[in-house]
Structure 1
Amino acid sequence: MTLTTENSKSTQDLHSRMTATRASQLTGRLKQSLIQHQAGSERLVAWVQFFVVVTFSLLYSLAPKTFTSEAEFAPVPWVLGAYFSFTVLHLYVCYRRLPPDWFTYLSIAVDMALIYVLIWSFHLQYMQPPSFYLKAPTLLYVFIFIALRTLRFEVKFILFAGGSAIFGWILMILYVFTADPGNTMVTKDYVQYLTSNSMLLGAEFDKIISMLIVTLVLATAVHRSKRLLLNSIIETRMAEDLSHFVPDQVLHDLSHSDDAPRAGQASRFQAGVLFIDIANFTSISEKFSPEQLVSTLNDYFTEVGAIMERNGGTINQFQGDAILASFEQSHDGLNSSECAIKTALEIQQRLEQARFGDQQLKLSSRIGINSGEVVGGMMGSRNRLIYTVHGDVVNLAARLEQHNKQVGSDILVSRDTRLACRDGLFEFHPEGEVKVKGRDAITRIYSVKSPDTQS
């Protein structure tokens, strides 16, 4: 007997919805995930701005000052102070919410204004003609501020940053011409340009072209990368959603596999198999509405599933009120069979205390456990798959669950499970031999209790 379920249909429907979302605008929780990512990126940008203003302030405090008259205006401290205040404001806004676009554009403009005002002030600070500041290495920070905007994965902010940088540098060049029209300091001699305060138009053109190319390259890269980011967000959400339909180990194996999942992918391994069913569920279901029944089952599955997972079990299938779970590895010092029995005992103990659904029903269950080699893998058609374990070991576990009614027990285990357990962990009581439906072999069976439980 191989258990089947409608999980595959739900999984396929979920995948179809996710694929449709990828082709359309992100909405709902996917859009919220993108906003959270961008908010984190904007906080990083604000911290970089804070680091830059602190660095500039430190460098300015250590640099020699050439102002000789108290009447002279020193713009640098005022600019750094204003930028520091804006950076603190930026950090405050970022930690409350994702800043609106207009605030981000303002932040970019402030970045560029800081750089260019500082560069412009150099000719005042060092008492040189305006062309002096055109050679300031501080211009390199412009490229840092352009690159910073890639963190938001928004092309519009990169283009605005690059455009602001180019526009600002053009204004800086025009100021050199207008500050002293009679002596623009323009030269065509490269050596004179390097050894004096002369201005070489070709050099300034190269800077503008460099800003333009860097901006376009970054914008193109981000445009292409944003699709990967969106796919990553969608795939992450899909994996989180699929984790409700398939075991975590299956998701892990699929994510690390080079092959696409297909029917027939299977492997053999030793496992403890637990089959659990609610006693007298048919009569219970007749007394309540479908909504009340679903609420009760969901509460029951939540409680029982948590115990299984806490003991290293994998829930393979839900079928009606039944659960098929497998224990495939050792956990907390117990082997797979011992984990299955420990889980069964904890479930029965919990059911004595718990009440389920709006009606606060007390439920009881019957459990069958068998151990041995099972086959775990993908089953179904080419387009609709489920993961399950199957084989004679699974069939016998299901038959033992049903045989509890004849024996009058809550938990029945096979001889193979009994032999796989160490002495002293559990209290086994022989219940004779039985030939279950669908099997020719005789099976010796045991009921089981905790050692401290009164017989």
Structure 2
Amino acid sequence: MKFRFPGRNIQLETFFEREFEKENFRRERQRAGLLAFIFALGVGGLVLFFNLLDHTIFFYNSFYQTLLTYLILMSLYEALIWFFFKKGMILIPKFPIFAKFGNSTFELTCLTGTLYWISKEFQQPILVMISPPTFIYFFFIILSTLRLNFSVSLWTGTMAGLQFLALSYFLIEKQAVYSENDVYAKSILPYIAKSFILILSGIAAGYVAQQIKRSIQLSIENTEKQNQILRLFGQQVSPEIVQVMLAQSGTLESRHMKVAVIFVDIRDFTKYADKHSAEEVVEYQNAFFGIVVGIVNKHKGVINQFLGDGCMITFGAPVSLENPAENAVKAAIDILDEIRNANENGLIPNTIVNMGIQVGDAVTGNIGSETRQQYNITGNVVIQAARIEQLNKEYHSHILVSQQVVDEITAIPIESKLVGYVHLKGIEEEISLWQLA
């Protein structure tokens, strides 16, 4: 059975819209910043280049003045947009799509108007359409990819192509003197071709924008998967296990796995709870389980259930371990040592813990409904671990394990001893028990 996220379609849609809108604002700001930088660079380059040639040209030629004015104003305009997005991202919950179309149209129209004004300085006005400033159209088209919308990029390319073609046709018709051998001065065909290229550039930019959007969506979905896994397992899972699960794309199939199970019980917890306030009880539980969780994470285990006066811990699922019994025994001994240290240092009320450990085959997977699911471990190994833990009171011990566990581990504590064969409630066959502490 596949690992399914409760309400994923609804939750992911909401999560994606929210995160994508944030990315949308960032990309718009990035686009405005790039354009502001490009136009500012153009201002510096224009001043430097033409002053090196002849500084008098720069001040008195209307062509250069008009082009410089355009570059300065556009640089300020884009810088203002960049600043707005930097300061106003939180103020606007969603950036309207029509604003992108309007902004694109305004930018292109300003360029077209500037080209028209510059054309007055040419003896043959149509030649302005093959001058370097016309390449600015491509800046707007290329950077439209940052708007993450195919329609906006297509609109930008189409508007650039149509405005370019319209101005070209107007200037050719307006021109009185034609150069006999200059095809650019008397034929509209080269400008139709260039207009078509601009439109195709818009289509290409739209395709790139769509691919960027898909990669962002995939990234957001992966982030949501991580969040879902973290919400499902909370602080029960060690970071190493989380990473393995994420590497498996959050797919956890129901299957049989070899696991070791520990049941931990706080002895006489009920008496403590009866004599103390709810706040004191919760504080005690948090301190106790804080110790347990840290140790379990260290040994790559999972706390499947918090039981109030104890917990159930699993080693070997959902991520398999080479020797789950070894991890379980080491974790149990560490828990016992840390609880004793906490008792001696007054970090928690005087606490005695009992633990029972069993190793064996279990069925692992999610159980529940579409709205709520829980990762679960089921099988005789779980029942036997719980029954073994309950025998600690009878044998005045702290850690009891089955013979199967002892057979799996590389070494047992020095003070360990064989208890003998016992009959567990609800289990037909007797099992051999060892006391490790």
1:135 paired residue among 104, 117, 130? 130
Answer with 309-318 or 82-91: which moved more.
Answer: 82-91
Amino acid at match of 2:108: M
1:149 aligns with: 144
1:44 aligns with: 30
Partner of 2:314: helix, strand, or coil? strand
2:227 aligns with: 240
Partner of 1:409: helix, strand, or coil? coil
Q: CA contact under 8 A between 1:38 and 1:98: conserved in structure 2?
A: no
Q: CA contact under 8 A between 2:367 and 2:376: conserved in structure 1?
A: no
Cα displacement (A) at 1:295: 8.2
2:386 aligns with: 398
More helix by share: 2
Matched, 1:173 2:180: no
Matched, 1:255 2:244: no
- Residues 175 and 289 (structure 1), Cα distance of their counterparts in 2 relative to 1, 3 Å cut: farther
CA-to-partner distance for each residue in 1:74-119, whole Å, 9 max, x for gaps? 2344443444444444444444453854886676467536755776
Cα displacement (A) at 1:72: 1.8
TM-score by length of 2: 0.69
Q: CA contact under 8 A between 1:30 and 1:234: conserved in structure 2?
A: yes
Q: CA contact under 8 A between 1:312 and 1:327: conserved in structure 2?
A: yes
2:20 aligns with: 34
Partner of 2:391: helix, strand, or coil? helix
Cα displacement (A) at 1:67: 7.8
- Residues 433 and 116 (structure 1), Cα distance of their counterparts in 2 relative to 1, 3 Å cut: farther
1:344 aligns with: 332
1:433 paired residue among 406, 414, 420? 420
Matched, 1:266 2:259: no
Cα displacement (A) at 1:71: 1.9
- Name structure 2 gaps, 5 residues minimum: none
**Residues 212-227 of structure 1 aligned to structure 2 (within 5 Å):** 212=199, 215=202
Q: 1 CA distance for matches of 2:366 and 2:116?
A: 71
Cα displacement (A) at 1:316: 3.7
Q: 2 CA distance for matches of 1:32 and 1:291?
A: 37
Cα displacement (A) at 1:322: 4.5
Partner of 2:231: helix, strand, or coil? coil
Identity of aligned residues (%): 19
**Residues 34-113 of structure 1 aligned to structure 2 (within 5 Å):** 34-49=20-35, 52-53=38-39, 56=42, 60=46, 61=48, 65=53, 69=57, 70-73=59-62, 74-75=64-65, 76-98=67-89, 101=95, 108=104, 111-112=107-108
Q: CA contact under 8 A between 1:434 and 1:445: conserved in structure 2?
A: no
CA-to-partner distance for each residue in 1:152-205, whole Å, 9 max, x for gaps? 33466446634653564356436625xx935275x9x9x742xx54441x3333
Cα displacement (A) at 1:273: 2.9
Cα displacement (A) at 1:405: 1.9
- Name structure 1 gaps, 5 residues minimum: 1-7, 449-455
- Residues 338 and 181 (structure 1), Cα distance of their counterparts in 2 relative to 1, 3 Å cut: same
Amino acid at match of 1:98: M
Q: 1 CA distance for matches of 2:218 and 2:87?
A: 27
Partner of 1:255: helix, strand, or coil? coil
2:364 aligns with: 377
1:3 aligns with: none
**Residues 254-403 of structure 1 aligned to structure 2 (within 5 Å):** 255=249, 261=253, 265-269=254-258, 271-283=259-271, 301=289, 304-318=292-306, 322-328=310-316, 336-348=324-336, 351=339, 365-371=353-359, 373-378=360-365, 387-403=375-391
Cα displacement (A) at 1:308: 1.7
Matched, 1:183 2:176: yes
Q: CA contact under 8 A between 1:159 and 1:215: conserved in structure 2?
A: yes
1:453 aligns with: none
Q: Calculate the aligned-residue CA RMSD, in Å.
A: 5.0
Amino acid at match of 1:442: I
Cα displacement (A) at 1:38: 1.8
Q: How many residues align?
A: 410
